[in-house]
Amino acid sequence: ERDLADDATEPTLGRPFRLVVDRFDPSTASRERVADALSRGFAAAGRAIFRSREGVETLYETTAACPEHGPVIVGELTPRHFSFNSQIGACTVCQGLGAARAAQIDRLFIAPHLPFWESLEPRAAAALGRSARGRALIERVLGRESKRPVSKWSDEMRTRVLDGTSDVVSVQRAGRWGKSKRKVAEEKAWPGLLTTLEAGAGRMDWLFAEGPCRACKGGRLRPAMLAVTVSGEGIAPFTARSVDSALEAAAGWHFGGEAGVIAERPLLELVRRLGFLSDVGLGYLGLDRAADTLSGGESQRIRLASQLGSALTGTTYVLDEPTIGLHPRDTDRLITTLEGLRDLGNTVILVEHDADTIRRADHVIDLGPLAGVQGGSVVASGTPAEILADPASLTGRWLSGAERIAPREGLREPRGWITVREPRGNNLRGGVVRFPIGVLTAVTGVSGSGKSTLVLDTLAPGIRMLRGAGGEKPAPMAGVETDELPDEVIVVDQAPIGRTPRSTPATYTGVFDGLRRLYAETPAAKLRGWEPGRFSYNIPGGRCELCEGRGATLVEMHFLPDVWVTCDACGGRRYNRETLEVRWRDRSIADLLAMRIDEAVELFSAHRVISRPLRALADVGLGYLTLGQPATTLSGGEAQRVKLATGLTSRQGRALYVLDEPTTGLHLSDVAQLLAVLHRLVDAGHTVLTIEHHLSVITQADHLVDLGPEGGDAGGRVVGEGTPAAVALLDT
β-bridge pairing 19-20 and 47-51? unpaired
Which H helix or E strand runs over 384?
helix 384-389
Question: 341, 621, 588, 337: which is closest to 505 by C-alpha?
Answer: 621
How much is the pLDDT for 186?
Answer: 58
Name residues whose C-beta falls within 8 Å of residue 325's C-beta, 6 or more positions apart in sequence. 295, 297, 298, 447, 661, 664, 693
Domain ranges of the chain: 2-62, 99-212, 291-400, 405-496+634-732
Query: Residue 49, SS3?
Result: strand
CA distance 537 to 588: 13
Nearest in space to 509 (alpha carbons), one of 621, 619, 622, 616: 616
Architecture of domain 291-400: 3-Layer(aba) Sandwich (3.40)
Residues 6+ apart with CB under 8 A from 545: 576
User: Which pLDDT does position 13 carry in this prediction?
Assistant: 40
Q: Is the domain covering 99-212 a CATH 2.120.10.30 domain?
A: no
Residues 62-72 have pLDDT tens digits of: 766 666 656 66
Q: SS3 string of 279-338?
A: HCCCCCCECCCCHHHCCHHHHHHHHHHHHHHHCCCCCEEEEECCCCCCCHHHHHHHHHHH
User: What integer pLDDT is reported at residue 85 of this predicted model?
Assistant: 93
What pLDDT is stored for residue 540 in this prediction? 92
Distance CA 451, CA 420 (A): 13
Interior CA angle at 316 toward 315 and 319, to 5°? 135
pLDDT at 6: 38
Q: What residues contact 581, with CB distance under 8 A and at least 6 apart? A: 524, 588
Burial class of 567 by CB neighbour count within 10 A (0 to 12, 13 to 18, 19+): buried
- pLDDT, residue 187, reads 62
Distances from the Cα of 365 to the Cα of 350, 394, 670, angstroms: 10, 12, 18
- Are the C-beta atoms of 689 and 455 separated by less than 8 Å? yes
Share of the chain above pLDDT 70, in %: 91
Spatial distance between the Cα atoms of 671 and 682, rounded to a whole number of angstroms: 17
Are the CB atoms for 658 and 388 separated by under 8 Å? no
Quote the pTM value. Answer: 0.74
Residue 604 confidence (pLDDT)? 93
pLDDT at residue 534, rounded to an integer: 95
Side-chain half-sphere exposure of 364, counting CA atoms within 13 A: 27
Amino acid at 438: G
Within 13 Å and on the Cβ side, how many CA atoms surround 410? Answer: 3
Q: What is the CA radius of gyration of the chain?
A: 33
User: Among residues 113, 129, 93, 122, which one has the least CA distance to residue 206?
Assistant: 122
| Matching fold, domains 99-212 and 291-400 | no
Helix pair angle (122-129, 132-142), 10° resolution: 110
Give one DSSP letter per residue of 243-290, joined into a string: HHHHHHHHHT----HHHHHHHHHHHHHHHHHHHHHHHTT-TTSBTT--
The pLDDT score that the predictor gives to residue 11 is: 40
Mean pLDDT by 10 residues, the chain (732 residues): 38 58 82 83 78 81 65 76 92 90 79 87 79 76 84 84 70 51 59 74 70 87 90 94 94 91 93 92 88 78 85 90 85 89 94 94 94 87 96 93 87 96 92 97 92 94 88 89 94 84 91 95 95 93 92 85 89 94 95 94 91 92 91 85 84 87 88 91 94 93 94 89 93 80
Predicted local confidence at residue 120, as pLDDT: 87
What is the C-alpha separation between 158 and 142, in angstroms, rounded? Answer: 10
* Omega before residue 67 within 30° of 0, cis: no
CB 42 within 8 A of CB 193: no
CA of residue 659 relative to chain centroid, distance? 16
Separation CA 445–CA 454 (nearest Å): 12
Whether the bond into 149 is cis, omega within 30 of 0: no
* Cβ neighbourhood burial of 467 (10 Å; 0-12, 13-18, 19+): middle
8-state DSSP, 596: B
Contact predicate 266/250, CB 8 Å: no
Sign, Cα dihedral of 337, 340, 342, 345? negative
Best CA proximity match to 167, nearest among 185, 143, 188: 188
Architecture of the CATH domain 405-496+634-732: 3-Layer(aba) Sandwich (3.40)
